[in-house]
Structure 1
Amino acid sequence: MAEGGIGCTDTEIGSVPRHSSLYSRHSQNYVESVSVEICTIMTRLGYGEEMRRWRVATYRECDRLRNAHLSNRSAIKSIGTLITAGSKGEGLTCSLESDLDYLFLLKNVICLEAGINLYSKPDDLNVYRMDTHVYPGHCRLLLERHTSSCLKIIHNALCYNGNGDVLLSSSLLLDEFSSLLAHTGVRKIVHHKCVGPSSPISVDGILHTDNVLGLRCLCPSVLHRWADRPRHWPSPVIVQNVVALGAILTPVGFKGSEFKHMEWRINFNRGEAELVSNLNDTQAKVYVILKMIIKDIIKPKNKEITSYILKNIVLWQAERNPQTRFSAYSLLHWLHDGLRELRTAIAKKHMPYYMIPERNLMEAGGINNRLHRKWVADITDMLEEGPGVILRLEKIRKAIVGSPEPMLWYSKKRMELEMLNLEIKKRVAQCGYENDFVNSINFRIEEVVIEVRQRMIQEGCSVNDLKYINDAMLM
């Protein structure tokens, strides 16, 4: 994306940027007052900065406890390290609002870009060399050192290319990983069709998880190119943190490649999680609202437009603009700006990946001409609609229509319920379900849900199912 392409403003008044189209039918004071009100509502819905950071810390602690105490209880956990990823790991969704995303980093494997001396790495590591002469942001993996610690699922995914080289096949390893997931544990697991690098499963028909296998990767040249870009954000300290977290390879090739079954995608999951956790309150809320717009209004059926594209839009906004411009007063401006960038990305079928701009996130995205025209027109209508587009989002609309006092009461109960459920998750990771503290938390959860049911009955609602109320509050 060219300099100044994203986040450009027509005029600015004080520290709040302006787009003429946003203010053509509404005064600046009106737009700013609505922005502040929406920010407040988003906080009450559980998207405030304090709640976001609490979720991030809790999920990280759950991961630490699981990896420390459960490594010998499950075949899948014995092969590597589990990390909560996606919107849960970023603290941007409630407990049942979306599926859980897990990243499994395989142990005893390292992938190196050209120029890194493999003999500088411990002898017990299986080493693969990255061949990046493929589509930007992707690579092939050539075996350079094989050890006795090679995992069975890795060994089964090795193949020859006919020229004396041994390559690691992304599609074969994904099949091996999916098979391992399907036969793990004693509970009923339903394995679903793989989507990209993800192996989705349902546990007991209730818990839905997207599971992605990853290989540790050292590609300092890619990270240094990102780090050396001129920017307003993030700070130099955060930039160095992201560089230190390194990269991960996931088993998915470029969709348009003839050899995609042998290709891997370069990702920066942990670095991007660090970046998202350092977005300010307004930036994070813009990201969440953009995701609501995709879910409630655009409604892509085959993930032609993903939340990942929206994340990249917000990261570009943050990098290219002074942080002082992102405040509660400017939320609608940046939402409007994000929609314009999404419309441009769809129209041109081009969205540069934030970490590797040469990679086009819209390439081979599957948007046909009919959807292309429809979505461009839909977003144009939303831009013309201005602040009113917010009312088309069910969750926010209900919060606006609801009376302030009941909404505030409900918000407190919902946040307490989410905290209690995540505390159980943490305690179970530490010592299992048979625990007095877990039982006491469950007792308090029941008390909270009963309180909510009583209030609902007083206000004329006939719902009595406690589980239904609990689940609905956490969605």
Structure 2
Amino acid sequence: MDFFSRNVETGFQHLCESVFVRLCQIVGTSVQLAIRRGTEDIREMLDRRVAENNEVLVMRSGSEREGFRLRASDVDVMHWLNNHRVIWDMCQSEYYYTENKTLILLDSSESPPGFALLELLTPTANRKVQSACVPMNETLYISSSLYRQQTQTNLFPGSTEHGPCESGEILGGIEYDFAWCFACDFWPPSASSWINRCSSWPEREVVDDIIRNGCHFVPIGNPLGLHEHEEWRISFSVAEHKLVHTMNHCQFLTYGLLKIFLKEVINKQSEDTNKLLCSYHMKTAIFWVIQQNVVPLWCPQNLLAGFWVCFKLLLKWVYKGVCPNFFIPLNNLFLTKIHGSAQRSLFLQLNGLYEKGLACLLQSPSIRSYITDVLYNPRLSICTNEGRMKSECEYDEELFYEITRNLSQNPQNLACCIKYLQALELMIGLPLRQYQVLMLQKITASILQNTAFTLHKMYTNTGLNKQMYIADRMACHMLKLAAKFGCISNMMYIAMHYYKAMRYRNALSIIEIIKVKLAQPGLMYERHVDSERYTEAVGGQSWSTKMRQAVAHDIILNNFVCYIHELTTEQLSALQNNNGSLYIPLFVVLHFVEFLCYRHIDTTLAQTALEELHVLVHHDQRLYVPIHYRDISWEILGICQQMTGNLQDALFSYEQSRTQYPWNKSRNATQMRIQDLHIS
């Protein structure tokens, strides 16, 4: 290309390598991607194994599930009722026990490709499904538009309906899409042609796995169909993330470059066209390019050639006004948006970029400097060895962060805890990567903690001293075991248990040990770490040792379990708002429990603990009190102030809590505490 006429032989290769290195920094190395996907796979596998028939299943989808951690990546989550299943014809009903499964029959006779009506075949006990049913031609169908309305949760402030999803923006600019859908265990007949196309990519084993996992139906109809408000769209979300995971690293980085190019270049061309193309179109383009073997070799030295082939395909699609769905080609993804004058404007803009050649990438702020470095330094030596791109500390930070974000298990009772432990025991025997074993280890610690507090509560209520003594010993044993499996934060649960059991001096001794560990210069707290000191302290040791000795994260309380009586109101309030966990900064919990214990031993030291908590909440610069958790942090400070009789300060703290972003969904509790103060 003319862009590289300065040095045709080496210029293109060097540029590809430079962009490859930059994309590894932005998107991630292959090791980082494996960690992100592998830890999530473990969580998802465990959730499936313990799910009851009448529960709601939850699955992350979209960019995050694929392995991206871009700032612009949405949080996409799919929910579906485990006891409802879609079938394609009546003969498939024999695979289900209809006493505990609601069957839904697909009817695509009057719908465009990729869409269908859903007929309710068997009775359902779910109120939202019942309310979404509409009669048509003496048959009861589930209306997609009504189901969207019924399942709208308003989970976060400002949420709106967007396509099939409830969408909005979480504090910090993170956009989310929550979709309620129905699962189907069978592969769509309308997508059977895809199976026959898979001769070169993906491998047969992957194809079989995708077919076994079926598909989903999301509540959105085709605007050009006869039944827009009743129709449902077939979602291949599971198949797509499996396909993305089979890409080699260069292919995935090319996909990442397409997403960056869309956001930073294409969408900046004109306000009239900046919403016509989306990431899904980029994904569809690279799927087609990989499967059609247009690029002979996907490697760092050829990365931009792959990008350019995808861009040309996209340009061709816009010119023709046809973007064929990868699984159902007759489903034109451009049909309702890219046509007429909008299509012409978009084509002219894309063609203008195309005529510039790869120089169009200079319009991307994320990539530009890496292109100019090569142009001005043609002899620049570029290392594409991924092992040298990230330090040991950076990989550890990635792993422990991913493990923490996948700790979402909230067993509701002892039977559920036991079910989790049994499932974990079986999973230990699976062929797992070392980081997946660590993920299992951390989940095991979490479930042991849940079991300990659940067990202690059960037998405390009996009033039988012997049973209470046995339960207390078992609980202590499980919590100490969890601390050995987990990280420094897991020790905090031992202190909470001792406080709850009125063993205040024991709790304080644990708190002192935790303080010493948290004062280590090599501590990795959430994503805050001094990499040099961390490496000096635990470099070269096993991940398990590192986690136990040098890693800490914020405290997660299962709202179905009582840990500290003083937080019961907040936990119940969160549960009423469908929030299963309270997320509290570790240092806030530390000072809180310390204050609660010293109240029974030494009021002077209790006041000191309260002052430390006051300074932390008032003056922390998001190091120990993340902005997401300031609601509960102010709440806890107010609880402590109210307990000491300082009602004016308590009222101020509660008011501050009420003005924070309601991450923990406990605002009702805050309002109740404010009312109690006014009454008193």
Q: Same fold (TM over 0.5)?
A: yes
Matches within 5 A, 1:322-341: 324-341=296-313
Displacement of 1:55 in angstroms is 1.1
Displacement of 1:67 in angstroms is 6.6
For 1:243, the aligned partner's letter is I
Pick aligned residue for 1:91 from 50, 64, 67: 67
Displacement of 1:250 in angstroms is 0.6
In structure 1, how many angstroms separate the alpha carbons of the residues matched to 2:288 and 2:9? 25
1:144 is aligned to: 121
Does the aligned pair in 2 maintain the 1:232–1:318 contact within 8 Å? Answer: no
Displacement of 1:101 in angstroms is 0.7
- Cα-to-partner distance string for 1:129-162 (whole Å, 9 max, x where unaligned): 1111210010001122224xx322111111111x
Does the aligned pair in 2 maintain the 1:191–1:199 contact within 8 Å? Answer: no
1:443 and 2:525 matched = yes
Displacement of 1:331 in angstroms is 1.2
Displacement of 1:62 in angstroms is 3.7
In structure 1, how many angstroms separate the alpha carbons of the residues matched to 2:175 and 2:225? 30
Displacement of 1:260 in angstroms is 0.9
Matched residue SS, 1:325 = coil
1:38 is aligned to: 19
For 1:309, the aligned partner's letter is H
Displacement of 1:203 in angstroms is 5.1
In structure 1, how many angstroms separate the alpha carbons of the residues matched to 2:147 and 2:530? 45
- Cα-to-partner distance string for 1:233-275 (whole Å, 9 max, x where unaligned): 1111111111111111111111223421100011111111110
TM-score, with structure 2 as normaliser: 0.56
For 2:143, the aligned partner's letter is S
1:9 is aligned to: none
- Which of structures 1 and 2 has the bigger CA Rg? 2
In structure 2, how many angstroms separate the alpha carbons of the residues matched to 1:43 and 1:118? 47
Matched residue SS, 1:194 = strand
Unaligned runs of 5+ in 2: 374-379, 410-442, 451-482, 490-517, 534-619, 628-680
C-alpha distance 324-448 of structure 1, shift in aligned 2 (>3 A): farther
In structure 2, how many angstroms separate the alpha carbons of the residues matched to 1:154 and 1:225? 32
C-alpha distance 157-449 of structure 1, shift in aligned 2 (>3 A): farther
C-alpha distance 415-379 of structure 1, shift in aligned 2 (>3 A): farther
Does the aligned pair in 1 maintain the 2:132–2:146 contact within 8 Å? Answer: yes
In structure 2, how many angstroms separate the alpha carbons of the residues matched to 1:83 and 1:309? 22
In structure 2, how many angstroms separate the alpha carbons of the residues matched to 1:110 and 1:428? 25
In structure 2, how many angstroms separate the alpha carbons of the residues matched to 1:86 and 1:281? 18
Pick aligned residue for 1:170 from 127, 130, 144: 144
C-alpha distance 366-384 of structure 1, shift in aligned 2 (>3 A): closer
C-alpha distance 24-264 of structure 1, shift in aligned 2 (>3 A): farther
Q: How much is the aligned-residue C-alpha RMSD, in angstroms?
A: 3.7
1:116 is aligned to: 91
- Cα-to-partner distance string for 1:81-115 (whole Å, 9 max, x where unaligned): 11110010000234x44221111122111111136
2:159 is aligned to: 192
Does the aligned pair in 2 maintain the 1:60–1:89 contact within 8 Å? Answer: no
Pick aligned residue for 1:135 from 104, 109, 112: 112
Matches within 5 A, 1:436-475: 437=487, 439=489, 443=525, 445-448=527-530
Matched residue SS, 2:63 = helix
C-alpha distance 25-58 of structure 1, shift in aligned 2 (>3 A): same
In structure 2, how many angstroms separate the alpha carbons of the residues matched to 1:467 and 1:209? 25
In structure 1, how many angstroms separate the alpha carbons of the residues matched to 2:161 and 2:338? 17
In structure 1, how many angstroms separate the alpha carbons of the residues matched to 2:526 and 2:166? 35
C-alpha distance 243-425 of structure 1, shift in aligned 2 (>3 A): same
1:392 and 2:363 matched = yes
For 2:142, the aligned partner's letter is L
1:321 and 2:287 matched = no
TM-score, with structure 1 as normaliser: 0.77
- Cα-to-partner distance string for 1:30-61 (whole Å, 9 max, x where unaligned): 22221122112211334332222221112233
Does the aligned pair in 1 maintain the 2:187–2:212 contact within 8 Å? Answer: no
Matched residue SS, 1:228 = helix
For 1:182, the aligned partner's letter is N
Displacement of 1:224 in angstroms is 3.2
For 1:60, the aligned partner's letter is D
Does the aligned pair in 2 maintain the 1:141–1:263 contact within 8 Å? Answer: yes
Matches within 5 A, 1:184-333: 189-202=156-169, 208-217=175-184, 218-229=186-197, 231-299=199-267, 303-321=275-293, 324-333=296-305
In structure 2, how many angstroms separate the alpha carbons of the residues matched to 1:21 and 1:311? 28
- Which moved further from structure 2: 326-335 or 216-225? 216-225
2:58 is aligned to: 82
For 2:57, the aligned partner's letter is T
- Which moved further from structure 2: 340-349 or 438-447? 438-447
- Which moved further from structure 2: 348-357 or 49-58? 49-58
Does the aligned pair in 2 maintain the 1:65–1:426 contact within 8 Å? Answer: no
- Cα-to-partner distance string for 1:374-430 (whole Å, 9 max, x where unaligned): 43233223223333333322222356679999xx99965766544443232134544
Displacement of 1:207 in angstroms is 5.5
In structure 1, how many angstroms separate the alpha carbons of the residues matched to 2:220 and 2:531? 43
* Count of aligned pairs: 422
For 1:347, the aligned partner's letter is Y
C-alpha distance 244-438 of structure 1, shift in aligned 2 (>3 A): farther
In structure 1, how many angstroms separate the alpha carbons of the residues matched to 2:46 and 2:72? 23
Matched residue SS, 1:37 = helix
2:665 is aligned to: none
For 2:160, the aligned partner's letter is K
- Which moved further from structure 2: 231-240 or 430-439? 430-439
In structure 1, how many angstroms separate the alpha carbons of the residues matched to 2:164 and 2:212? 24
The structure with the greater share of residues assigned to helix is 2
For 1:245, the aligned partner's letter is N
Does the aligned pair in 1 maintain the 2:18–2:371 contact within 8 Å? Answer: no
C-alpha distance 366-265 of structure 1, shift in aligned 2 (>3 A): same
Displacement of 1:24 in angstroms is 8.2
- Which moved further from structure 2: 280-289 or 58-67? 58-67
